[in-house]
């Protein structure tokens, strides 16, 4: 395409967007005072903006199209993306990991780490747990789950109600909440076993809505929309902590739980059941033919995925000290799903990065205050277009048959 054609095309795009945004951006009616406000400058901005952006957009799309060809036919050894190569080579990633863990340990004591900073990072860690849990269901087992937040709610309400009625503390509630969520996951798992793809999606969504509505309407059980307040933060051998210390404590608690989650999920991925999930994701019929029981695989995926949501829910309740149904809406499910997809399905590192971006971004966008959700939506679209497979592409374990390996008896 020559320069002239490009300019012409961009002009058309600019005109199209000026037309498109005309009623919403230019006209504003005040129905009370019966005046119409005409904001013509907006139209000019839209025109110029979309003209310029269309060039960038087209350039990027073309670049992606070229890059895409490379990705489809990778050269066997050298074609791996840098990130994957980095992750496959202990020599390269170890120093990085050490630096990262040092930073993680030192973070709350650094000068800029105010209570607020620690709090939002803790929040991001919480979403890493949720993301990794959902990753089991969506990323590994390939079941599109739009109601994950229901299990999060089960965890949160388990702790809240157990504390309220029986005075059960955080540490006892943690496994109980996880257990309740897992049982709930299995209960949901049964009816949806036969459903595929998007039918599954809408049923899980419906299930989450039912859970939220019951919490909202059944006052005798859940105290309805006014929620349950005054849930204690996690204790540490009865030591009194002020707000800042308490926040640091929850931060370290979250780090520990995240590491635990990463460890477990990583082990699960390479286990027998993990491989069964991947097989299920790739093809249900073939997987059944190979001797994997899809019912068991699906149920365990739901149960294990829900367990993490339950754990995260208990921590959420302890962290905010208050639960009400408004925290468990569909948007929350969509957020967790976005973390998984944006980060890269099936990739642990991807989920971690995804959680940091999606949770911290709106907080740091506070400077743009009212534009932050607009930017957030835009970034989601743009990221997907230019990186549809997510930031980090999940690596499939490749099992090579090596004679030496057999002799040594190592299982890698």
Partner 1 sequence: MKIRLSGRVFLSWFIIAGLAGLFASPAAAADTIKLGVAGSHSGDLASYGLPTKRAAELVAKEFNAKGGVLGKKVEILSEDDVCKPELATNTATKLVSRGAHVVLGHICSGATKTALGIYKDAGIVTMSSSATNPELTQSGKYPNFFRTIASDDAQAKLDADFAMDVLKVKKIAILHDKGDYGKGLAEFARGFIEASKKAQVVVFEGITPGAVDYSAVVNKIKQSGAEAVIYGGYHPEASSIVIQMRKKKMGTLFISDDGVKDDTFIKVAGKAAEGVYASGPKDTTKNPLAIAAIAANKSTYNTDPGAFFLNGYAAAQALLNAIQKAKSTKYEDIAKALRTYPVDTPLGKIKFDKRGDAIGVGFSMYQVRNGVYVEVPAAAPATAKKKK
Partner 2 sequence: MDYFLELFLGGLTRGSIYALIALGYTMVYGIIELINFAHGEIYMIGAFTALIVSSVLAFAGMSGPSVLFLAASVAIIYSAAYGFTVEKIAYKPLRQAPRLSPLISAIGMSIFLQNYVMLAQTSDFLPFPSLLPELPFLEKYGLRIGSSELIILLTTAVSMVLLMLLIKLTKMGKAMRATAQDRNMAMLVGVDVNRTISYTFIIGSVLAAIGGVLIASHIGRINFYIGFIAGIKAFTAAVLGGIGSIPGAVLGAFILGWTESFATGYVSSDYEDVFAFVLLVLILIVRPSGLLGRSTVQKV
Q: Residues interacting with partner 1, by CB under 8 A?
A: 31-32, 53, 56, 60, 63, 67, 82-83, 111-117, 119-120, 123, 216-217, 219, 224-227, 229-230, 242-243, 246-247, 316, 319-324, 326-327, 353, 356-357, 360-361, 363-364, 366, 369-370, 372-373, 382-383, 386-387, 391
Q: Which does 203 bind (CB under 5 to 8 A by kind): partner 1, partner 2, none?
A: partner 2
- Reduce the DSSP state of residue 323 to 3 states and report it: strand
Q: Which does 191 bind (CB under 5 to 8 A by kind): partner 1, partner 2, none?
A: partner 2
Beta-bridged to residue 27, according to DSSP, are 38
Which one, 143 or 315, has the nearer CB to partner 2?
Answer: 143
Which one, 77 or 381, has the nearer CB to partner 1?
Answer: 381
Q: How far is the CB of 147 from partner 2 (least distance, A)?
A: 10
Of 343, 350, 117, 153, nearest to 251 by C-alpha is: 117
Q: Which does 75 bind (CB under 5 to 8 A by kind): partner 1, partner 2, none?
A: none
Beta 35-38 vs 27-30: how paired, if at all? antiparallel
| Residues of this chain that bind partner 2 (CB under 8 A) | 16, 19-21, 23-25, 27-29, 31, 34-36, 42, 61, 64, 138, 144, 191, 194-196, 198-199, 201-203, 205-207, 209-210, 213-214, 217, 283-286, 289, 330, 334, 337-338, 341-342, 345, 370-371, 373-374, 376-381, 384-385, 388-389
Q: What secondary structure letter does DSSP report for 270?
A: T
Q: Which does 199 bind (CB under 5 to 8 A by kind): partner 2, partner 1, none?
A: partner 2
Which one, 9 or 389, has the nearer CB to partner 1?
Answer: 389
Q: What secondary structure letter does DSSP report for 61?
A: H
Q: Which does 222 bind (CB under 5 to 8 A by kind): partner 1, partner 2, none?
A: none
Yes or no: say if 314 and 158 are a contact pair by the CB < 8 Å rule: yes
Q: How far is the CB of 65 from partner 2 (least distance, A)?
A: 9
Backbone angles phi, psi at 151, to 5 degrees: -75, -30
CA–CA distance, 156 with 181 (Å, rounded to integer): 10
Which one, 42 or 117, has the nearer CB to partner 2?
Answer: 42
Q: How far is the CB of 56 from partner 2 (least distance, A)?
A: 13
- DSSP letters spanning 366-382: GGGGGGHHHHHHHHHHH
DSSP-H helix ranges across 107-242:
115-135, 149-166, 170-192, 197-217, 219-222
Q: Which does 247 bind (CB under 5 to 8 A by kind): partner 2, partner 1, none?
A: partner 1
Buried b (16+ CB within 10 A) or exposed e, 141-174: bbbbbbbbbbbbbbbbbbbbbbbeeeeeebeebb
Yes or no: say if 144 and 197 are a contact pair by the CB < 8 Å rule: yes
């Amino acid at each position: 395409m020559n320069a002239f054609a490009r300019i012409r095309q961009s002009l058309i795009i600019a005109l199209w967007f000026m037309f498109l945004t005309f009623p919403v951006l230019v006209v504003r009616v005040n129905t009370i005072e019966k005046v119409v406000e005409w904001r013509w400058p907006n139209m000019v901005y839209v025109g110029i903006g979309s003209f310029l952006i269309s060039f960038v957009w087209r350039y990027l799309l073309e670049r992606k199209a070229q890059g895409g060809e490379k990705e489809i036919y990778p050269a066997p050894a050298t074609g791996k993306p840098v990130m994957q190569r980095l992750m496959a080579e202990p020599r390269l990633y170890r120093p990085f990991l050490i630096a990262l863990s040092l930073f993680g340990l030192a973070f709350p004591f650094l000068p800029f780490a105010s209570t607020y900073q620690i709090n939002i990072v803790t929040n991001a860690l919480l979403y890493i747990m949720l993301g990794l849990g959902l990753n089991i269901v969506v990323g590994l087992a390939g079941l599109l789950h739009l109601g994950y937040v229901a299990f999060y709610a089960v965890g949160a309400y388990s702790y809240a109600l157990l504390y309220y009625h029986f005075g059960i503390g955080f540490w006892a509630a943690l496994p109980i909440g996880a257990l309740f969520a897992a049982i709930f996951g299995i209960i949901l798992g049964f009816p949806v076993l036969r459903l595929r793809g998007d039918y599954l999606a809408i049923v899980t969504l419906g299930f989450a809505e039912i859970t939220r509505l019951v919490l909202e309407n059944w006052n005798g059980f859940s105290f309805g929309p006014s929620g349950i307040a005054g849930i204690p933060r996690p204790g540490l051998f009865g030591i009194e902590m002020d707000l800042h210390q308490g926040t640091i404590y929850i931060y370290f608690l979250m780090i520990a739980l995240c590491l635990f989650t990463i460890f477990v999920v990583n082990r699960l991925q390479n286990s027998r059941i993990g491989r069964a999930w991947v097989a299920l994701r790739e093809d249900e019929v073939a997987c059944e033919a190979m001797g994997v029981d899809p019912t068991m695989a699906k149920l365990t995926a739901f149960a294990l995925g829900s367990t993490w949501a339950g754990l995260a829910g208990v921590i959420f309740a302890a962290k905010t000290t208050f639960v009400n149904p408004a925290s468990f809406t569909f948007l929350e499910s969509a957020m967790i799903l976005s973390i998984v997809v944006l980060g890269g399905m099936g990739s642990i590192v991807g989920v971690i990065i995804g959680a940091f971006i999606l949770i911290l971004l709106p907080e740091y966008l506070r400077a743009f205050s009212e534009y932050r959700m607009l930017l957030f939506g835009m970034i989601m679209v743009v990221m997907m277009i230019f990186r549809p497979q997510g930031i980090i592409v999940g690596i499939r374990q490749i099992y090579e048959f090596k004679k030496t390996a057999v002799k040594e008896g190592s299982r890698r």
